[in-house]
Structure 1
Amino acid sequence: MRQKTLTSLSVLAAAALTPSLALAQDASGAPGEQTAYIFTTLLFLMGGFLVFWMAAGFAMLEAGLVRSKNVTMQLTKNISLFSIAAIMYYLVGFGLMYPGDWWIEGWMGPIFAVTSLEPVGVAPADTALDYASAGSDFFFQLMFCATTASIVSGTLAERIKLWPFLAFVVVLTGFIYPIEASWQWGGGWLAEAGFSDFAGSTLVHAAGGFAALAGAIVLGPRIGKYSKDGKAQAIPGSNLALATLGTFILWLGWFGFNGGSQLAMGTIGDVADVSRIFANTNAAAAAGAVAALILTQVTYGKVDLTMVLNGALAGLVSITAEPLAPSLTEATLIGAVGGAIVVYTVPLLDKLKIDDVVGAIPVHLIAGLWGTFIVAWSNDGASYGMQLVGFFSIGIFVFVVSFIAFSIIKAVMGLRVSEEEEINGLDMAEMGMEAYPEFSKG
């Protein structure tokens, strides 16, 4: 009797929904305008909150890879940089990245104006965007801006002051990132020249890596990182469980990062493409982790967990420039090379005495270069030469402006804590509280 009743209810529900389903399609059977609008908006929102969750991933990864005396500082930096990015991208960044859309009435408005993103109940044809809600598009794009700043945080850990760092975040999220991203995603000169970066191997990840590189050079290495004869000294992190959790969170968030960058979910083809992007993204991450797993065993005689974690992230960065066109086999190979890059470029940075606490430069900058370059392998519309032109154009711009910004901040505010404060830990020196007070002395 229960099964029969449920079946009857299902039939009645299907009959009731039939007119609505008909309205959702046009005469040819394709999705109607409003249906496509709704699903693409949903893609932006789901992708956006998955990328937002990556902020938690960066926070946990960094908290695990720094020493316990600096954990509170890293957590403070991560929640602060995201919040600053959200405000700066609204006030300045979005307008620089998409100048044609900045003054659209009803959803952005002038600076400091309190406006709604859309009138309630507006029809798609009456909105600024004819394919998704303006609010969802803005929300999604903001998350990429904030991610760029998160990359810088880990590299400069354990010796940079809080407020000078946040001052740089203002410059990065309000000006540097939006300007270089406008060259491609804002319809600028790189887009017109044929450069291709699907979800941001260069525009987001390498850009964050170049900014981190500039900061690391201006800031200098941590005390005790390099001996007098120039050899690198291992400085273990405080909690590899947190670092592993952070990596898995980032891996999850990347499905929104790459999948949402399809920018459409209004047709069967779009949904199929999103599913392919998910599969390729996952394959590249897995291959990066396995490559690092094997190579650290072969190279060092034992597996290095931190390298495996960064290998997965490097695989993700490598596939981000083109997660749709490759086959699963190609995506796996692309990710594996990314994992190998981490294993062999981390020691290279140490030879150059560039102290990158979490390995963000190899993961985001060097793997970003690889991912951007190899786009032409699977994407017939891209050329290897133009991919390099785009990468180094953005890289030079971000590095030079970031280096100047860090140098100015250093001269005006000071950039680095004192030697005593660095030795005692930034948690007490900068924050006055510790993440693990039960382990403190006295």
Structure 2
Amino acid sequence: MTIGDAPVRVALLGCGVVGSQVARILVEQADDLKARVGRPLELVGIGVRTPGPRPGIDEALLTTDVEALVRREDVDVVIELIGGIEPALTLILAAIETGKSVVTANKALLAQHGAEVFGAARASDVDVYYEASVAGAIPIIRPLRESLVGDAITSVLGIVNGTTNYILDQMHTHGSSFADALAEAQSLGYAEADPTADVEGHDAAAKAAILASLAFHTRVNLTDVDCEGITGISTGDIAAAERLGCVVKLLARCSVSADGTVAVGVHPTMVPVEHPLAGIRGAYNAVFVESVNAGRLMFMGPGAGGSPTASAVLGDVVTAARNRVRGVSGPGESAYSTPGITDPGRVESRFYLSITVRDEPGVLARVAEAMARHDVSIAAVRQEQLGDGGYARIGVTTHEAPYASVRDVVSLLTATNDVHGDVRLLRVEGA
């Protein structure tokens, strides 16, 4: 622990988009940070994969011997911004083992190895802070971890991936195809050259696991999250949503099921325009929390970017440093509950089915019969002609039903001669 009037010494792992901004803020705002911590924050080293100068960074701070930096006896706080699982996991555990507090933005690591990391931190009596791991600059970890810890949270619903939100927003506002919207997102730096983690929902799924773990005081792993990305979303889906007064968003949902288990999923969802999340545009993120006593709360802001994410990282660094100065540690993992994970097939939602059928008498009745056979109740039906090809498109909105039942309806319909092609299926969020 830091004692006397010595500075709190910080090691930074990674000097990319976020890491370089963290280093900049540590230097440019040194006096303000000192006043907030009560001691100077001294950046003593920056671990990088490859040698060479970085613009605006003191080259004397750079080292490729990252493990040696982590194990230095004069380091108090380690900031991990490498990303990925390894070597990040090994380095974080080494930092904790040698008595250092850790600040990380690594959602994939925490979603897969959180139990190991938090267990090690508890054994060493050090802090692990991770505000930047879920929604960039948006403060959502601390409210769930501390501010709402006296309440009972019933659901967390959010847009937690800026790339996919930008793509879907472009499809709605400009009529862009998925491919064109993705290309634009890449040109603006919102999407990586390989956008798989974003567009397939994996990034959002890792964040959903973290949110569910915090909200329900349990351990939710990445493998517990039912995940569907947006690569299958077409301009036809966007148009169908608009006809229903909705927009399509990739939503992470964490909620308590009727039997007490926890449902965690990421899915493209039709959201009514009057819902607070429907108006979240561009690369912004938002998280909607419902609890027994506080009611409905929404947190919104930039979900990515160097400076916004660095802001969240530095907030954690200040908190960890204050704790070092006082000789205490902050709240650890709260995972006393073991409710279990709801089977995805039993999770209930409203659904929208887009079905291309032969334009003949009796077809709609047979569609309704198939849905009734699986106890799926129809809320509304819309039908439109499709040119002169002898086909029509039926759009069916259901009342709440288990996903497994709706999936069985889809299987039954696609096996009939009435239906042409695949049945499109999207969840529909309540207003």
TM-score under structure 1 length normalisation: 0.30
Larger Rg: 1 or 2? 2
Choose between structure 1 and 2: higher helix proportion.
1
TM-score under structure 2 length normalisation: 0.30
